[in-house]
Structure 1
Amino acid sequence: RALPVARDLLATFAAGPLLPRLRSLKDHLVARELPVLLPPGKGEHSPVGVVSGTIDLLYKDPKTGRLVIADYKTDEVEGGEEMEARAAVYAPQGAIYARAIQEALELGEAPRFELWFVRMGRIR
């Protein structure tokens, strides 16, 4: 079951607009699969002490030079309304990743966070 699903995802990605977008960023890539480890912020409490994760893609926006965190999502979403609902669910993850990069690199502003919905071929 997993192999046909993976093949379908790859075919969708290859045929859609996200692969050309990724290729257009080749000279602006900063990191792929970047591990992050972040202690709770001021006023935050975590039962495990730290939050860990992996940033799928970190790149510099070709127009602004600002860092952007891209997170690939393979959710099956039917349309824009459902995509927005999923984006709201993933917003806390994006905030954590953005804070981790901002603090690690001592940036004046947090990086932008994007969700790349692979099945829909859309960036949010």
Structure 2
Amino acid sequence: MRNVDELMDQALDAEERELLSSIGDEPGFVERAMGLFGAGTGWMVAFMMAGQTLLFLTGVWAAWGFFEADHPVTQLRWGLPAAVLLLASLAVKLAVAAPIHTNQIMRELKRIELQIALGARR
């Protein structure tokens, strides 16, 4: 991915390079995830992350009970809820990943729009 970015930078002239540098570098994963809290749906993301944390911690607690259990029936009583809770936690986490990817695509589209606008201005 970096090679493509370097090729694009070489193809741009000084004015375009200055405008693109004002946009800034690609934000990291943590910056992208924290950016979701500032959007209009920030309360929903906060609720989902709180629920995901609760599901994960409860799943770890149930997994601990599974590994401490001596009898197969007791292991099933702890193991099945542990698996369901941990998978539900993963599903909530993956639901938050889609808006992160969407924001990344929108950022690239804005970058392309800027390049088209600069090209049309010439």
TM-score using structure 1 length: 0.29
- Larger RCO (CA under 8 A, 6+ residues apart): 1
The structure carrying a bigger helix percent of its residues is 2
Q: Which has the larger radius of gyration?
A: 2
Specify which structure has the higher proportion of strand: 1
